[in-house]
């Protein structure tokens, strides 16, 4: 898609969510619950597998041959979304399912029965053919009680499919689904604030920013509930691998990516043309929180800039805003974080275009900076509308900072700590609780400290005294049922340790998770996210850039 020229900015025109396949009530989720199955009997071979998907995956039947079905009998957007979700589950189960042998490598090819229709459906929806946030969170939910006071409340949602068949995986997806639903009002508020800034209605901008802050506060509250029913051990060792893509995954068994049979013609290649064949392999990132348009929409609306990982840029200044206002032009955009930009290719086309058009029209941060540029404003009280505007804007920035801090702490608990501890006995030695850095002063160091504290706490704390950190804790703080989740049964720690030692001696490669995404990390190893990035380094920088976006009391 060609970039719009910077020399000819578009005149302001109010955006309509409906023009981008966005619901005013459900945001980036479909307005109606996703289809539970495709209505045309032609697609019964797919749906037959999905009806017993976990059984087939458990019995290693996913890799059996299926017929190649066309996509010409899909007729609605909902049917294409259902087909994409089904094929995503089939494809990742095929690649990562391992066919019954723990040491068996991931498969480097997809059969035409999956690859051909998957690519066709992806082209229609305008996103990459790989598991993404849309497949598992946006188009994979159902309402349990349609007459509930809040049908889209987290406790009233269920998933249609999971790889593991566990509550942990369902909860992991549904937390994101509930956040998307609750923040729909935030998207409406973003458009209201943008329009109000264009007509210089300062009170209306402040009010819209208040609605944005309310949506972000609800998102923070829902995210904190991740720990209730998603166990770090289950997530890291049983779920996470299925969400991985095939980019930067050489250490997980996919050095070249994955070949899509029937799509990328390989018949002309022989053994003597291996280098040319390698170039036909596809490399896609896996499912990532960066693939939801929601946070990127708030970033754009609030003018939070993200730069390439490892580089530090500057947020907009009042001088820049005055220059741009005088020139009535859009200055050359600074280099953006390439990973975040690439993640837009894993969003449906309408949602990606919304972000692009929002970036071309939204000037909320510029408006706030110009309105608050008076050198004496810091002496004003809350009766001054400019003070209220600045406070409303900074409240949104603070909530975005808090959300990213919580996310970083979760990566520490759900990825870094389990990777450092290894697969043998997940809850015998628990990581220390992550430090609270909600004030934004030490979030980056807190994540590093939490990862380091996991190993120290594991060595120092007896199993019987170890609290269950980030485990399946209900609202009454009762521990998980040890019969369902034996890794939480600290009373059986000694027996489990002996069994784990025997298993490790029997299969060292499997115990360390060699050749897999979920594996024990040694000193100096990088914990990669399912998107293939260095997770902590990326999140630290994104959090820091968000924190630096606050407008100070005395703007210069």
Which element (helix H / strand E) includes 169? helix 167-182
Contacts 24+ apart (CB under 8 A), 336-342: 336/305, 336/306, 336/307, 336/308, 337/306, 337/307, 337/308, 337/309, 337/541, 337/542, 338/308, 339/290, 339/309, 339/531, 339/533, 339/538, 340/290, 340/296, 340/306, 340/542, 342/285
Q: Which token pair is 216? A: 């972000």
User: How far apart are alpha carbons 484 and 503 in whole angstroms?
Assistant: 21
- Known binding positions: 407
Interior angle at CA 230, CA 228 and CA 235, nearest 5: 160
In the numeric block, the tokens 């042998």 are attached to 101
User: How far apart are alpha carbons 361 and 384 in whole angstroms?
Assistant: 27
User: How far apart are alpha carbons 317 and 551 in whole angstroms?
Assistant: 10
- Known binding positions for heme b: 407
DSSP designation for 274: H
- The burial of 459, by beta-carbon neighbours within 10 Å (0-12 exposed, 13-18 middle, 19 or more buried), is given as exposed
* Pairing of β 157-159 and β 259-260: unpaired
User: How far apart are alpha carbons 538 and 528 in whole angstroms?
Assistant: 10
User: How far apart are alpha carbons 297 and 106 in whole angstroms?
Assistant: 35
- Phi, psi angles (nearest 5°) of residue 83: -65, -40
Buried b (16+ CB within 10 A) or exposed e, 414-450: bbbbbbbbbbbbbbbbbbbebbebeebeebbebbebb
Q: Which token pair is 95? A: 């690649």
């Amino acid at each position: 898609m060609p970039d719009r020229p910077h020399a000819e900015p578009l005149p302001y025109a109010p955006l309509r969510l409906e023009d981008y396949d966005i619901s005013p009530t459900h945001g980036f989720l479909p307005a109606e619950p996703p289809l539970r199955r495709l209505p045309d009997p032609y697609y019964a071979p797919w749906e037959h597998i999905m009806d017993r998907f976990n059984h087939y995956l458990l019995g290693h039947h996913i890799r059996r041959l299926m017929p190649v079905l066309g996509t010409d009998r899909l007729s609605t957007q909902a049917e294409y979304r259902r087909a994409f979700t089904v094929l995503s589950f089939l494809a990742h189960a095929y690649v990562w399912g391992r066919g019954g042998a723990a040491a068996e490598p991931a498969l480097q090819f997809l059969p035409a029965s999956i690859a051909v229709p998957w690519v066709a459906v992806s082209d229609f929806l305008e996103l990459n053919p790989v598991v993404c946030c849309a497949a598992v969170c946006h188009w994979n939910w159902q309402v349990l009680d349609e007459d509930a006071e809040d049908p889209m409340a987290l406790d009233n949602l269920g998933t249609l499919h999971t790889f593991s068949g566990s509550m942990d995986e369902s909860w992991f997806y549904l937390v994101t689904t509930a956040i998307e639903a609750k923040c729909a009002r935030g998207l409406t508020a973003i458009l209201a604030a943008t329009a109000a800034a264009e007509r210089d209605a300062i009170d209306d901008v402040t009010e819209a920013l208040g609605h944005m802050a309310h949506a972000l506060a609800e998102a923070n509250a829902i995210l904190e509930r991740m720990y209730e029913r998603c166990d770090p051990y289950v997530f890291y060792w049983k779920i996470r691998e299925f969400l991985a893509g095939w980019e930067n995954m050489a250490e997980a068994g996919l050095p070249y990516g994955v070949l899509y049979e029937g799509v990328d013609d390989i018949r002309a290649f022989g053994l003597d043309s291996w280098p040319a064949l390698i170039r036909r392999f596809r490399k896609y990132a896996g499912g990532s929180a960066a693939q939801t348009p929601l946070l990127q929409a708030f970033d754009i609306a609030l003018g939070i800039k993200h730069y390439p990982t490892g580089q530090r840029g500057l947020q907009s200044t009042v001088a820049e805003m005055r220059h741009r206002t005088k020139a009535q032009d859009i200055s050359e955009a600074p280099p953006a974080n390439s990973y975040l930009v690439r993640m837009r290719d894993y969003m449906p086309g309408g949602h990606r275009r919304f972000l692009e058009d929002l970036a071309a029209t939204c000037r909320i941060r510029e408006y706030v900076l110009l309105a608050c540029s008076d050198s004496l404003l810091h002496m004003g009280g809350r009766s001054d509308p400019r003070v209220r505007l600045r406070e409303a804007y900074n409240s949104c920035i603070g909530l975005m900072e808090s959300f990213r801090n919580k996310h970083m702490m979760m990566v520490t608990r759900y990825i870094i700590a389990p990777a450092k501890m290894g697969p043998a006995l997940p809850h015998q030695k628990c990581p220390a609780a992550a430090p609270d850095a909600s004030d934004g002063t030490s979030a980056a160091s807190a994540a590093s400290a939490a990862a380091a504290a996991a190993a120290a706490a594991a060595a120092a704390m007896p199993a019987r005294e170890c609290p269950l950190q980030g485990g399946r804790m209900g609202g009454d703080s009762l521990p998980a049922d040890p019969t369902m989740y034996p890794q939480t049964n600290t009373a059986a720690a000694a027996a489990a340790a002996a069994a784990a030692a025997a298993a490790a001696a029997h299969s060292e490669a499997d115990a360390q998770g060699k050749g897999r995404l979920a594996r024990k990390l040694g000193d100096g190893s990088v914990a990669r996210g399912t998107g293939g990035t260095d997770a902590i380094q990326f999140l630290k920088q994104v959090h820091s850039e968000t924190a630096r976006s606050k407008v100070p009391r005395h703007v210069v």
